[in-house]
Amino acid sequence: MTESPLASPPPASPLVLVAGGSSAAGIAVARELLSAGMRVLTAGSDAGRITAAAEAAGGAVPLVCDLADPAAVEELARRIHADFGPLDGLIHLVGGWRGGSGLAGQSDADWDFLHTSVLTTLRNTTRAFHPDLTASPVGRLAIVSSTTVTAPTADNANYASVKAAAETWVQAVAQGFGSNAKNSSAAVVLVVKALVDPGMRERSPDRRFPGFTDVAELGRTATGLFSRPAGELNGARLILPTPSKKQGEQ
């Protein structure tokens, strides 16, 4: 697929929402987007945590919203449209991990938690902002998935299955983007084994974190999505580099 020559030029300063931006990953992603000149909104469920994260990122706009609540997400979209205009990018970071011993350890409570946190928040946010991302000349959706999706174990069956469902949802969004004549939007799955951040390194100075992806690398990759052609990205599953591996597609 190639970019349409009739596509509108990219906005000078794309408007990007980091959904679930309170964690170290959220801060790193918002920081990289800001340093590339983008306008960054960052949403979390707790006012104190998201305000601190927005400040730590260096000037993102904090927004409080329970992204698991569809009505709250619709209201968030109305606020964003009124105050900032349509979104160009949605970087979805709401996650969480739950595991247990074998299938017997895959509890209903953990399933409900993961389903709500990972999948419902993704479904709510993509449905609310789909028209924006479709209309934008650089519409980008990204999630961060896990290597466990292609190598699930009985101990993480709940987690791997919910992450697989999230990947499928993104592929469905990608199919919709790809069928749009404008063809300038892309939905992407970024894949890591685990994330490491400066706080983790500080708490365990002797640990090497093999196979982990630094949150700064995640931020750079998410930011780079806005300058790569949609045709090369839409539907891609990108394995993020670790210190010993280069980025590649699966």
Ligand X SMILES: NC(=O)c1ccc[n+]([C@@H]2O[C@H](COP(=O)([O-])OP(=O)(O)OC[C@H]3O[C@@H](n4cnc5c(N)ncnc54)[C@H](OP(=O)(O)O)[C@@H]3O)[C@@H](O)[C@H]2O)c1
Which one-letter amino acid corresponds to residue 23?
S
159 is catalytic: yes
Beta bridge partners of 28: none
Q: Are 41 and 15 in contact (CB under 8 A)?
A: yes
Spot the catalytic one: 159, 177, 212, 226: 159
> Residues 38, 43, 44, 47: what is their CA dihedral angle, to the nearest 10 degrees?
100
Closest-CA residue to 240 (of 231, 230, 232, 250):
250
Residue from 117, 124, 136, 158 binding ligand X (CB under 6 A): 117
CB of 85 to ligand X, least distance (A): 22
Q: Using the rule CB under 6 A, which residue among 14, 22, 88, 128 binds ligand X? A: 22
Residue with Cβ nearer ligand X (62 or 139): 62
Nearest CB to ligand X, comparing residues 23 and 234: 23
Q: Total number of residues binding ligand X (CB under 6 A)?
A: 26
H-type helices in 37-178, by residue range? 47-57, 70-83, 108-114, 121-135, 157-178
- Taking CB under 6 A as the rule, does residue 46 contact ligand X? yes
And the tokens for 40?
């960054």
Give residue for tokens 């992407």: 188
Nearest approach, Cβ of 92 to ligand X (angstroms)?
7
Judged by CB, which is closer to ligand X: 25, or 187?
A: 25
**Segment 221-240, which members bind ligand X (CB under 6 A)?**
none
Q: Which residues in 182-221 contact ligand X (CB under 6 A)?
A: 192, 194-195
